[in-house]
Amino acid sequence: MPESRIAPRIAGNVAFIVAAGLVGLAIGYFVDDSLGWAVFAVGLLLLLAHHLLQLYALGIWLERGDVVGEPRARGVWDELHALLHRSRREAATREAELARALTRWREAARALPDGVVILDGDRIEWCNDTAKLHLDIDPVGDAGNTITHLVRIPEFVQYLEGGDYAKPIELRSGDGRVLSVQIVPYGDAQRLVLSRDITRFEKLERMRREFVANVSHEMRTPLTVISGFLETLREDNEGDAEDRRRYLELMSEQARRMERLVADLLTLSTLESSPPPPLEEAIDMGALVERMGADARALSNGRHKIEVENASGIELLGSEKEITSALGNLVSNAIRYTPVGGTVRLRWHVAPEGAAFDVEDTGIGISPEHLPRLTERFYRVDRGRSRETGGTGLGLAIVKHALVRHGATLDVQSTPGQGSRFTARFAGPRVRI
Ligand code: ADP
């Protein structure tokens, strides 16, 4: 046990009283009784006055709540003051540490990408800035308010009041945002409301579902045709040889369609899963553009006028296979959507941003409302025409993907009935002029 510093001071006081008593006793014995008592009383009064004065000083110091200045006192009071002063300083330090920890915690919670609201019962105690954004709650102005008066979405109110918080719920806001909201109870009546923006995730999930549905649909049509003809052939053994030849022709046409679809799906999946195209490999664009011209002539088979303008000296760095696939799709579209007698013009040239490849046709054109959606998978302006010309609905999705991987953009200008111009614009470190 540490040595007490108060005890000797108390003992000093007791010694003073004993000394005063002894002096009074001696005076009473040798001089006069009354004088002895008087001396003893004066001694006690002096002691009392001293203690009252010290008590007064302590009271004033305590009232001031001053933790910095140390009070001046004597004897036992000096020790008491020192003890009180120390415990006050320790309490102040602890309080400051707690305040700092609370501030740090709040700053961390404020920086969270998810929304956090602390509820006491139904009342908002605190919320971070993300919760403000998600649930439109003001961290300062709305503190103390009932949350259901501010977040009035019926699903949320039902979830909060239902008390079953095992799973989060999804809320859709008016501006198209989708939130996942989870309530976590804690303490006596406290609850945490956590909100997360899952708009992107939800969109990806919807796209995935639509994609699977689209692929199934695209596959089912040729399969239905093939199995129908197979059935006919099986039942009609004696049939006309010409009919049988036609059925087989139609079946192989549908099989080719499925092949094209699978090939395009594989191209897309390779584009999605491959590492970025190399920055060290220069594509021989002169030869590639010439090849595009030759492919266009072969596809057109003399039905269109094909023009090629090929600037020399522009190098493109990246994957030759991907660029061939992207530009090849633009060329094949131009041929497929341009009636006989039309013109298709290919141009590889210097552009303000770097270099560009244009495919211009005098074909059927596209109405402006379709332009923003052209590169979506399976989006077609005219389903019948796309199918007739052997389209899979994936060509421009492949183009966009391959171009994005090369830091390039696709620009489309079109006038219905007059023609279209698709421009792949290359810029940045992938172009060398
Ligand atoms: P598809 O296999 O159907 O051609 P794409 O993804 O290549 O699919 O093109 C999407 C749609 O954009 C086409 O169905 C067509 O309606 C339209 N399109 C593409 N290129 C042209 C073009 N040069 N002229 C007119 N329409 C075009």
The H or E element containing residue 314 is none
CA atoms within 13 A of residue 293's CA, in its CB half-sphere: 17
Segment 27-43 shows an average pLDDT of 91
Ligand 1 midpoint to CA 332 (Å)? 9
Ligand 1 midpoint to CA 184 (Å)? 51
- 54 ligand 1 Cβ < 6 A: no
The CA angle 220-221-225, to the nearest 5 degrees, is: 110
- 386 ligand 1 Cβ < 6 A: yes
Q: What is the pLDDT of residues 90-104, one digit of tens each?
A: 999 999 999 999 889
Q: What is the pLDDT of residues 134-147, one digit of tens each?
A: 988 888 888 888 99
- 115 ligand 1 Cβ < 6 A: no
Annotate 281-293 with b (16+ C-beta within 10 A) or e (fewer): eebebeebbeebb
Length of the chain measured in residues: 433
Whole-angstrom CA distances from 332 to 36, 286, 300, 335, 359 are 130, 19, 9, 5, 10
If one residue of 218, 369, 386 were mutated to test the ligand 1 pocket, choosing by the most ligand atoms within 8 A of its CB, it would be 386
If one residue of 262, 380, 410 were mutated to test the ligand 1 pocket, choosing by the most ligand atoms within 8 A of its CB, it would be 380
Per-residue pLDDT at 176 exceeds 90: no
> Phi and psi dihedrals of 134, rounded to 5?
-75, -45
Q: What is the pLDDT of residues 50-59, one digit of tens each?
A: 889 888 888 8
In the chain the first and final C-alpha atoms are separated, in Å, by 88
- 195 ligand 1 Cβ < 6 A: no
- 326 ligand 1 Cβ < 6 A: no
Whether the model clears a pTM of 0.95, i.e. scores above it, the answer is no
In ligand 1, the atom with minimum distance to the C-alpha of 383 is 14
Segment 70-91 shows an average pLDDT of 80
- 334 ligand 1 Cβ < 6 A: yes
State the pLDDT confidence band at 428, using cuts at 50, 70 and 90. Answer: confident
Tell me whether strands 282-283 and 315-317 are parallel, antiparallel or unpaired. Answer: antiparallel
Euclidean distance between CA atoms 93 and 90, whole angstroms: 5
Euclidean distance between CA atoms 381 and 379, whole angstroms: 7
If one residue of 337, 346, 385 were mutated to test the ligand 1 pocket, choosing by the most ligand atoms within 8 A of its CB, it would be 337
The overall longest dimension of the chain from CA atoms, in Å, is: 160
Measuring from atom 25 of ligand 1, which residue has the nearest CA? Answer: 365
Whole-angstrom CA distances from 240 to 236, 244, 249, 254, 338 are 9, 6, 14, 21, 37
How would DSSP label each residue in 242-287? HHHHHHHHHHHHHHHHHHHHHHHHHHHHHHHHSPPPPSSPEE-HHH
State the pLDDT confidence band at 417, using cuts at 50, 70 and 90. Answer: very high
- 363 ligand 1 Cβ < 6 A: yes
Ligand 1 midpoint to CA 302 (Å)? 21
Domains in the chain with CATH codes: 3-100 (no CATH), 112-197 (3.30.450.20), 201-273 (1.10.287.130), 282-432 (3.30.565.10)
